[in-house]
């Protein structure tokens, strides 16, 4: 890390708090890889949770509340994904003014298997508007930071989406949430429509890192159906502040409650949205 710019260059206040929490969380997670003691499941047998997810979320909560005791926090492990409780927490958060949206480990399945592709994701929404987004990959020691209106950075260097305009030359990322009822068929239908038209597809198992990779120009686009706010809030701000575009799968503007997400460099956005609309028309209803 010393050879690079420090994480915090000019950041102060909220952003520095998010970076600090993400860095501490990331180090802890990395130190626990391969040593999980309690492996449980949530909404389905494929929806994993470990003591590390829970412990890291508690730690991030404590770190945020130490600085900002009256702020609201929506963390994945504090609420059942996909339920009305999430919608209620978002609504409450909008009223609250400051809402932190936290995914302690995005990519828990990868973490459990020792597949080195997972991250910590922390976002701050002010009155429902994304204002800070931080994603930390502890394996590669990559800290992605976005501030609304001020751009996005990785270790002090501005990130920028790719300039690819041709779907046929594009590398696209996607994912499969543990929801095997609605989300899996919808994502499969999208895959079938998009794969024949692009250079390649990657499904790495971390929505947040895939969004950070769109921001950094490492993939040209990403979509996934059935996400939760903590999977994408920080990543969405990174993409927007890196010059990209984010909508839902019908092309409507992203909001912190959006669950079906398309992110891209902007140039191939219409292609992705049209292909997903076709996929939906030929098969799967939301």
Q: Which residue do the tokens 């994304």 mark?
A: 130
266 binds, among ligand IPD, Ca ion, none (CB under 5 to 8 A by kind): none
The Cα 13–Cα 101 span in angstroms is 17
Q: Evaluate whether 284 touches 189 at the Cβ level (below 8 Å).
A: yes
Annotation marks residue 106 as catalytic: yes
Catalytic residue check, 53:
no
Helices (H), 216-286: 229-241, 269-282
Structure tokens at 103: 């995914």
Contact string 86-125 vs Ca ion (x = CB under 5 A): -----------------x-xx-x-----------------
Rounded to the nearest whole angstrom, what is the least distance from the CB of residue 79 to ligand IPD in the complex?
13
Establish whether 51 is a catalytic residue: no
Could you say which of 53, 57, 103, 164 is catalytic? 103
Residue closer to Ca ion by CB (options 29, 124) is 29
Our CA angle for 159, 163, 209, nearest 5°, is: 45
Helices (H), 33-182: 51-67, 84-96, 108-113
Task: Dig out the tokens for 52 from the structure.
Answer: 């590390």
205 binds ligand IPD (CB under 6 A): yes
Is 194 a known active-site residue?
no
- Euclidean distance between CA atoms 117 and 126, whole angstroms: 29
Catalytic residue among 53, 77, 106, 164: 106
Task: Out of 57, 220, 231, 248, pick the active-site residue.
Answer: 231
Q: Least distance (Å) from ligand IPD to the CB of residue 105? A: 6
* DSSP letter for each residue of 189-203: HHHHHHGGGSSEEE-
Q: Is 106 in the site for ligand IPD (CB under 6 A)?
A: yes
Among 7, 18, 50, 76, binds Ca ion (CB under 5 A): 76
Structure tokens at 172: 């696209």
Shortest Å distance, C-beta 274 to ligand IPD: 23
Q: Does 137 bind Ca ion (CB under 5 A)?
A: no
Q: Which is nearer to ligand IPD, 49 or 124 (CB)?
A: 49
Beta-carbon contacts of 11 under 8 Å, excluding residues fewer than 6 positions away, are 19, 145, 147
Active site residue 64: no
Please tell me whether residue 280 binds ligand IPD under the rule CB under 6 A. no
Decide: is 223 part of the binding site for ligand IPD (CB under 6 A): no
C-alpha distances in Å from residue 93, one per residue of 74, 113, 238: 8, 34, 21
User: Is 105 a residue of the active site?
Assistant: yes
Among the listed residues 11, 15, 108, 159, the single contact to ligand IPD using CB under 6 A: 108
Number of H helices, E strands in the chain: 8, 14
Sites of contact with ligand IPD (CB under 6 A): 76, 103, 105-108, 175-177, 205-207, 224, 227, 231
Which residues are the active-site residues? 76, 103, 105-106, 108, 231
């Amino acid at each position: 890390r010393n050879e690079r710019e420090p994480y915090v260059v000019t950041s102060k206040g909220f952003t520095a708090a998010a970076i600090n929490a993400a860095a501490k969380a990331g180090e802890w997670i990395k130190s626990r890889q391969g040593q999980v003691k309690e492996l449980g499941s949530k909404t389905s047998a494929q929806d994993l949770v470990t003591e590390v997810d829970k412990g890291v979320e508690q730690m991030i909560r404590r770190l945020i509340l130490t600085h900002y005791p009256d702020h609201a926090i929506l963390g994945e492990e504090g609420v059942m994904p996909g339920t009305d409780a999430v919608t209620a927490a978002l609504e409450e958060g909008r009223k609250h003014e400051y809402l932190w949206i936290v995914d302690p480990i995005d990519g828990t399945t990868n973490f459990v298997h020792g597949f080195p592709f997972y991250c910590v994701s922390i976002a701050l929404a002010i009155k429902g508007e994304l204002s800070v987004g931080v994603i930390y990959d502890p394996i590669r020691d990559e800290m992605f930071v976005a501030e609304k209106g001020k751009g996005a950075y990785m270790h002090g260097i501005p990130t920028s989406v790719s300039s690819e305009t041709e779907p046929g030359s594009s590398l696209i990322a996607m994912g499969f949430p543990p929801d095997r009822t609605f989300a899996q068929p919808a994502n499969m239908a999208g895959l079938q429509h998009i794969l024949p038209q692009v250079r390649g597809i990657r499904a790495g198992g971390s929505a947040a890192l895939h969004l950070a990779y769109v921001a950094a120009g490492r993939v040209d686009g990403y979509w996934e159906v059935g996400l939760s706010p903590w999977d994408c809030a920080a990543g969405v701000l990174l993409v927007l502040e890196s010059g990209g575009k984010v909508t839902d799968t019908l092309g409507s503007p992203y909001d912190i409650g959006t669950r079906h997400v398309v992110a891209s460099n902007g140039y191939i956005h219409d292609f992705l949205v049209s292909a997903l609309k076709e996929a939906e028309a030929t098969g799967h209803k939301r």
